[in-house]
Amino acid sequence: MDFIILVSAFIALLMLGTSVASAMILSATLSLLLADMPLRVVADRLLAGLNSYTLLAVPFFIFAAVAMNRGGLTRRLLDVARVFVGRFPGGTAQVNILASIFFAGMSGSATADAASQGRILIPHMKKEGYDPGFAAGITAAASTIGAIIPPSITMIIYGSITNISIGKLFLAGIGPGLLIGIALMAMTWRLSVRRGYPVSAPVPWRDRLRPVVVALPALLAPALILGSIFTGVTTPTEAGVVACIYALLLGFFVYRDLGIRDVVPLLEEAVVATAVPLYIIAAGAVFGFALTVTGFGFQVRDALGALTDSAHLFLLIAIASFLVIGFFIEGTAALLIFVPVFTPIAQSYGIEPLLFAVVTCIVVLIGTITPPVGLQLFITADIAKVSVFQVEVLPSVGIILAVVAAIIAFPSIVTFLPSLL
C-alpha cells in the first residue's frame, strides 16, 4: 500500500507539471509521513545524499567543461576533427562525432557536449544541406559519448551510489565509448551516402599540422586528467580540480579567449549547471529511502527470482526497464532511484559489477536523447529549431543498443582495462 501511495503521488505530481526532483521530494515526504516517520528524516536524507566526497567531483568537472567551452578549447578540437574526418561522407557530422570523443576526455558531461558543439555545428550542418532533424539527432547521440568515455559525471554518480571504484568505472567506459563513436560514424557514413550529404574538401597533409599543433594543449587535457587518476597521483575529485585549473590556464594564457571579466559569468554558468544535478541527487536520496521503506527492492528481487534464474534474461529485463524509465524520468534521477534496487539483484545473479554498471549507464543515457524528457534531445532540437519529435534519433538508439548487445556478448570490452589495475 505504501508503495502504491508513493508511486501514485509521484506520477500525479509529474502530470501536474512539477519538476522531477520536486515530485520525488513531495511524494516521498507524503509516503514517509503516512508511514509514521518523522519529518526530520526528509532533511537528513537530503543532506546525506549530497554529503559525499566523491560527488565533489561533479561541480569541478562541470566548471571545467564551462571553462573549456568559453576558453576556446572546443573550437580548436573541432578544427582537428575537421582536418581528419571532414573529407568522409557526411563530413561535418563525422566531425561532430569525433569531436565528442575528444571532448569526452575532458568534461565528462553529455549536456555540455550537446550544448557547446550543437551551437557551433548544427547551424553549419543546416547550411550545408543536412536535414535539421538529422543534425540535431546525431549531435544528441554523439553527446552521450561524453558521459561514457572518462571522466564521466554519470559514472561518478553511479560509483557514489554503489561504492564501486571510480577509477575502474572510468577504465571500463573507454572501450564501450570508443565503440559507440566508431559505430555512429559508420552509420553516418552509410546514411550520408544514401542521402547525398556533402563531403568537405580534403585538407592537404602539409596543412594538417598547424591545427593539431594549435590544439595540442587541449588534446593533452585528457592525458593529464586521466593520467593523474590512474597513476594514483589524484583522486577523481582532485582530478576535477586539475581539470578546472588546466582549462583556466589554457583559456587565459595559451588561447587567450578568457579575460578577467569572464570569471563571474563562468562561475554563474557553472553554478546554474551544477545546481540541477545536485538537486536531483538530493531528491533521489529521499525518494530512494522512501522506496526502501516500502520494501520495493525485496518485492522486485522476489518477483525476478520467481520469473527467471538466467542472468542474461535478467539483463534483458533490466535493460528494458531502464529504457522505459528513461522515457519518463531524467537520467540522474533514474540512476538514483533504481540502481540501488537492481544492483544487489544483479550481484545475486553473478553478473560482473562493472559490466552491469556500464550497461546501465549507457541505457540510462539513451533516455537523455529520446522524447519526451530527454535533456540532450531538447537542447539540440532547440538549436536546430525543430520539434523534439522531428529529431532523428531512432537509428542512433539502435546503434547504441547494438553496442550494448556486443558488450554483453563480449564482456572483456568492459573488463579488460580495469583488470590491468
Q: How confident is the model at residue 338 (pLDDT cuts 50, 70, 90)?
A: confident
Distance, CA of 355 to CA of 417 (rounded, Å): 12
For the four alpha carbons of 170, 176, 182 and 184, in that order, the dihedral sign comes to: negative
What's the rounded mean pLDDT across residues 242-251?
92
- In order, the DSSP letters of 25-46 are HHHHHHHHHHTT--THHHHHHH
Q: Record the pTM.
A: 0.89
Give the pLDDT confidence score for residue 1 in this predicted structure: 65
Segments in 86-150 forming alpha helices (H): 91-104, 110-128, 132-143
Provide the angle, in degrees to the nearest 10, between the axes of the packed helices 20-34 and 331-348.
60
What's the rounded mean pLDDT across residues 74-78?
84
Domain ranges of the chain: 2-419
Give the pLDDT confidence score for residue 411 in this predicted structure: 95
For 348, residues 6+ apart whose C-beta sits below 8 A from its C-beta are 301
Q: How confident is the model at residue 231 (pLDDT cuts 50, 70, 90)?
A: confident
Distance of CA 278 to the CA centre of its chain: 15
What's the rounded mean pLDDT across residues 130-148?
94
Nearest to 229 by CA among 218, 220, 238: 238
Q: Using alpha carbons, list the distances in angstroms from residue 352 to 94, 314, 401.
A: 33, 13, 19
Q: Using alpha carbons, list the distances in angstroms from residue 323 to 108, 318, 365, 370.
A: 22, 9, 9, 10
Question: What are 269-291's pLDDT values in tens digits?
Answer: 899 888 888 888 888 889 888 88
Question: What are 292-321's pLDDT values in tens digits?
Answer: 888 877 787 777 777 778 888 999 999 999
Question: What are 164-184's pLDDT values in tens digits?
Answer: 999 899 999 999 999 999 999
For the four alpha carbons of 349, 320, 133 and 70, in that order, the dihedral sign comes to: negative
